[in-house]
Amino acid sequence: MNEMKKTAITLNVNNETYDIVTYPNRTLLEVLRDDLHLTGTKESCGEGVCGSCTVLVDGTPVRSCLTLAVAAQGKEITTIEGLSVGEKLHPVQEAFVNHHAIQCGFCSPGMILTSYALLKENPRPTEIEIRRALSGNVCRCTGYAKIVEAVKSLAEGGN
């Protein structure tokens, strides 16, 4: 068994600074959920295929299950908890609710964050661009149509 020492790291998550002491082999997903109790980020496949663990790192959607927490220092991390303001949902979340784009909800944090990043970069994406952007997020319930509709409603300038 290899040697390993705990190390002190500082993470900036949803504009808040967290100082924690952890092992270097822990993924960002594990630290977000188990240490910071931000359980909106979900673990599913754990191997970068399904997209349920998607978070934004410096505004870009990435797999938190394939990101080391220690390597995420110095970056701005946004989780699903960072989108709403108090009880007020973000427009992307509102659109998912209004278009019934949520069933079991397990993929929703990843879907919403990926959609949010897409709309920031490209406020008027075409359907093909929406589908391409969301191609790394698996949903086993909706069949995707409602999710695409929700994002399209925002791309067209509101719902």
Partner 1 sequence: MRLPPFQYLEPTNVEEALSMISAHKEMAKIMAGGTDLLNRMKLRLIEPAFVVNIGKLRNMDGIDIGDAETIIGANTRLKDIAGTALVNKRFRAIAEAAFQVASPTITNMATVGGNLLQNTRCMYYDQSGMVLSGLERCHKRGGTVCLAVKGSKRCFSVYQGDMAPALIAFDARCVLEKKGSTRTVPITELFTDNGVSPFAIGADELLTKILIPKPEGIYSSAYRKLRLRGSVDYPLASAAAFVSVTNDKKVTTCRVVIGAAGAAPKVIDGASREADLEGIAQKAYDHAEGVDNLKMPGAYRRKMVSVLAKRAIQAAIEDIK
Give residues in contact with partner 1 (CB under 8 A): 1-5, 7, 23-27, 30, 46-49, 51, 54, 60-63, 66-68, 70-71, 114, 132-133, 135-137
> Between 145-155 and 108-121, two packed helices, what is the crossing angle to 10 degrees?
30
Nearer to partner 1, 71 or 97 (CB): 71
* Identity at 55, one-letter amino acid code: V
Min separation Cβ 22 and partner 1, Å = 11
DSSP string, 82-104: GTSBTTBPPHHHHHHHHTT--SS
Q: Which is nearer to partner 1, 75 or 90 (CB)?
A: 75
Kindly state the smallest distance separating residue 99's Cβ from partner 1, in Å. 22
Secondary structure element (H or E) that encloses residue 64, with its range:
none
CB atoms within 10 A of CB 2: 4
CB of 88 to partner 1, least distance (A): 27
Of 70 and 151, nearer to partner 1 (C-beta) is: 70
